[in-house]
């Protein structure tokens, strides 16, 4: 009898796992006329490392492919085309943007015949309709701005002063229109994944005052939307903007996302000045500045401690870089939810360095890598 019960429980457990897998699968099929691509790739935007997808196989002759994978939560995916030279200067307008969610299953059709940017906006009767509504207005402006910018960069030595001014004006006007479109969308459709994703992007890129965005964000009241990663990320950034301002007591940092799995606590460094360095192995200036930061710490070792907080996606790459660079100070890896310190500190660029006094108060923060930073630190730690 006990054996029967154990077998039954085990079978139900396996069944529940299999059912969850099926429920969280997604499959989006595409039929795109006029494609000139060799392949298709995807990038996810949203909760870290939760979504996966199968290799996309493209039928070039028919322009057909399927985007299949697994996600337990709502994410945004950008599908790009490999070696389609027409889309080179289109920026974000070179991708098909989709809201991907557990159980998503629909078909997307469209045409790229004779086009220099992607005007294909998937709909599914739900969140993708909202994203399509936004992108239909946004992407033509994004394309206009991107093309003017690329031309300005490519031909700067061959353009007259008037031509340069005209291109700069064109970029500025397009960017202003883009901001108008986004703000209107926040006002009219706050309860959408598209709005929250765009809010997060604007905060990251410092494209809108936090106080202004907070006025739009307060209108997000849909319970389902408020459970999404994007809601939490925007909420954390808005709160982090205030909580990590100069003069504030630094929020506590506790994490087991360390190389050896031990728990790190920021309070363990209290009593000395602490430089918190938000960095990533993918960030050239971050990596270039690490030896200088360590040299500064060594010079003032009785007064200064370092803490690295990485925004890497791959644990192995992060760990291997730390060991190779002999980064002999505490380092933690950002994770989802409460471990997303990039959002909680409203980090808008890499590297971002924050100086704490011996009592844990925030004295200074700076984005970028420069030798002048250490001249300022020298004055502050006296």
* pLDDT the model gives residue 179: 96
The predicted pLDDT at position 5 comes to 54
What CA–CA distances, in Å, run from 367 to 183, 277, 381? 26, 10, 19
- What confidence score (pLDDT) does residue 238 get? 96
- Note the pTM of the prediction, 2 decimals: 0.84
pLDDT below 50 — which residues of the chain? Answer: 9-20
Q: What is residue 47's predicted lDDT score, i.e. its pLDDT?
A: 87
- pLDDT for 16 equals 45
So what's the pLDDT on residue 17?
44
pLDDT of residue 7: 55
Break the chain into its structural domains and give their ranges.
2-173, 190-243, 254-380
pLDDT of residue 12: 47
DSSP alpha helix (H) spans, the chain: 2-24, 127-154, 161-188, 193-204, 210-217, 223-226, 229-243, 284-299, 315-324, 341-344, 372-380
What confidence score (pLDDT) does residue 49 get? Answer: 82
Would you state the CATH architecture of domain 254-380?
A: 3-Layer(aba) Sandwich (3.40)
User: What's the pLDDT at 362?
Assistant: 96
Closest C-alpha to 122, from 139, 110, 137: 110
Tell me the β-bridge partners of 30.
65, 108
What pLDDT is attached to residue 88? 77
The answer to whether the CB of 322 falls within 8 A of the CB of 286 is no
Q: What angle do helix axes 284-299 and 372-380 make, rounded to 10 degrees?
A: 30
Predicted pLDDT of residue 90: 83
Asked if residue 90 lies in contact with residue 117, where contact means CB atoms within 8 angstroms, the answer is yes
Q: What is the pLDDT of residues 190-216, one digit of tens each?
A: 999 999 999 999 999 899 999 999 999
Q: What is the pLDDT of residues 131-166, one digit of tens each?
A: 999 999 999 999 999 999 999 988 888 899 999 999
């Amino acid at each position: 009898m006990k054996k029967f019960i154990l077998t039954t429980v085990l079978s139900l457990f396996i069944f529940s796992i299999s059912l969850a897998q099926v429920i969280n699968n997604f499959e989006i099929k595409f039929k795109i006329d006029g494609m000139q691509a060799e392949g298709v790739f995807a990038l996810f935007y949203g909760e870290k490392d939760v979504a996966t997808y199968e290799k996309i196989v493209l039928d070039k002759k028919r322009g057909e492919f399927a985007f299949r994978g697994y996600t337990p939560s709502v994410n945004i995916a950008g599908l790009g085309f490999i070696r389609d030279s027409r889309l080179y200067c289109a920026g974000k307008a070179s991708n098909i943007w989709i809201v991907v969610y557990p159980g998503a299953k629909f078909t997307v059709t469209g045409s790229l015949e004779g086009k220099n940017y992607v005007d294909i906006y998937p709909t599914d009767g739900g969140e993708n309709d909202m994203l399509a509504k936004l992108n239909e207005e946004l992407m033509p402006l994004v394309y206009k701005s991107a093309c003017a910018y690329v031309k300005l960069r490519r031909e700067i030595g061959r353009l007259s002063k008037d031509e340069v001014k005209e291109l700069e004006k064109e970029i500025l006007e397009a960017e202003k229109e883009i901001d108008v479109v986004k703000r209107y969308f926040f006002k009219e459709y706050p309860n959408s994944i598209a709005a929250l994703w765009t809010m997060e992007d604007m905060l990251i890129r410092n494209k809108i005052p936090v106080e202004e965005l907070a006025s739009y964000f307060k209108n997000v009241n849909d319970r389902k939307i408020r459970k999404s990663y994007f809601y939490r990320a925007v909420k954390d950034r808005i709160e982090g903007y205030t909580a990590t301002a100069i003069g504030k007591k630094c929020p506590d940092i506790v994490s087991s996302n360390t190389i050896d799995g031990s728990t790190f606590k920021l309070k363990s460094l209290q009593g000395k000045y602490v430089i918190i360095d938000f960095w990533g192995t993918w960030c050239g200036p971050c990596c270039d500045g690490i030896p200088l930061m360590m040299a500064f710490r060594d010079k003032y070792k009785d007064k200064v401690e370092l803490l690295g907080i990485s925004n890497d996606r791959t644990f192995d790459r992060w760990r291997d870089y730390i060991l190779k660079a002999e980064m002999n100070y505490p380092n933690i890896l950002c994770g989802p939810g409460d471990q997303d310190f990039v959002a909680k500190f409203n980090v808008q660029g890499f590297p971002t360095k924050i100086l704490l006094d011996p009592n844990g108060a925030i004295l200074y923060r700076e984005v970028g890598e420069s030798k002048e930073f250490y001249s300022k630190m020298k004055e502050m730690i006296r």
